[in-house]
Amino acid sequence: MADVRQETLYGCLVVSNPCKSDLKHDGIIMQLEGVLSILIPPSKQGLIDTVVNSLKPTVLHSEVLEICRAGKFPHGTSELPFEVLLPISSPKKPIYETFHGNSINIHYALRCTVKRSLLSKPLIQMTEFLVEHKPSSCPLPPRVREFSLTPANVNNAGERSRLPNFSITGRLDSDMCSLSKPLTGEICVQECSGGVVNSIEVQLHRLETCGNPADHLAPTETSEVQSWQVCDGDVARGLAIPLCLPLPRVFTCATVSSRNFAIGFEVIIQVAFCNDHLVKETIPIVLER
């Protein structure tokens, strides 16, 4: 795992030659490449046809290193150490964190090519490595976010009339969340008369905007990253249930907004009652390193 602030990536290329004779090659090169890919969801295509062609894969960084010149590998295992100095992220040429989403992918990889004669295909092997920013020296102060779920959260009057009389309160300790720490808080069922709680879930959703976030026509796809079941079945009234939810690494990243895309996150508090009715509360959050 590498950091984007002028850090050196160290590695070792291992070549195994099972043949008794030497393995001849015409040189070995190593290519480091970072690529940003934006794929507009098929359901959204047609809304911004004039922008589609501009969303080509963007090369964030590309560098080619010569590991060794033409030669031979003897029988057995040969090790070739290498090191690559990673670029510095800047406003003009940013280096984003690794992220794998449905519409947006930020991918960094090493591609090793063993060149051989014209009559033999080159040997190619590729491996991904993760890039993340160093924790900020001045982290944002925590902002406690309280929430409350009542029948008033349901917009449909007919649906609201079939719900029990309930009051569920809670809080997130901060809506400015560090990726290296779990999401914490608590939830409490204060009242639920005329029905019982079937389950309580907390969901983490990502919002991927393909295009300029300031453009209201830019499509945004929302998808679930992870879901935690806080309780299964009814719970005691007035009992504060603690929340401690670790965040996944590859499918999340620091919240980012640029000229061509944006990645945001939100937490969904979902309560299911015994009659299969659902009540949700959406809380936007900011993830930071």
Q: What is the percent of the chain where pLDDT is above 90?
A: 4
pLDDT tens-digit readout, 207-224: 988 877 777 777 788 888
Least confident segment among 23-27, 54-58, 82-86, 90-94: 54-58
pTM assigned to the model: 0.77
**Residue 54 pLDDT:** 47
Higher pLDDT, 147 or 117: 147
Least confident segment among 78-87, 148-157, 183-192: 148-157
**Residue 205 pLDDT:** 92
pLDDT band at residue 139, thresholds of 50, 70 and 90? Answer: low
Give the β-pairing of 220-232 and 240-245: unpaired
